């Protein structure tokens, strides 16, 4: 699920269900579209909660010309 505000800020959340091992699988994220003249810059932050493996944080940067 994703909710956006003015095509600039996005909040994401998700839950994985239907797994056989009944492991809690929540994911969250936050994204930004940053206007920079003719260049499109996107920054995404994500966090995945872990049970068997450690929780994971991810950062991505996308630049379009």
> Cα 61 to the chain's mean position, in Å?
12
Q: Which two tokens stand for residue 58?
A: 């991810």
pLDDT of residue 51: 67
End-to-end Cα, the chain, rounded Å: 28
Decide: 3 and 14 in contact? Cβ < 8 Å: no
pLDDT of residue 31: 92
What pTM did the predictor assign?
A: 0.68
pLDDT of residue 6: 82
Q: Which two tokens stand for residue 49?
A: 């909660």
Number of domains observed in the structure of the chain: 1
Question: Which residues, given as ranges, of the chain have pLDDT below 70?
Answer: 1, 17-24, 50-52
**Residue span of the structural domain in which 16 resides:** 2-64
- For residue 52, the 8-state DSSP code is S
């Amino acid at each position: 699920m994703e909710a956006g505000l003015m095509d600039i800020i996005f909040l994401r959340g998700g839950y994985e269900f239907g797994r056989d091992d009944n492991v809690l699988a929540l994911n969250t994220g936050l994204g930004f579209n940053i206007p920079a003249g003719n260049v499109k810059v996107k920054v995404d932050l994500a966090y995945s909660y872990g049970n068997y493996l450690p929780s994971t944080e991810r950062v991505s940067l996308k630049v379009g010309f």
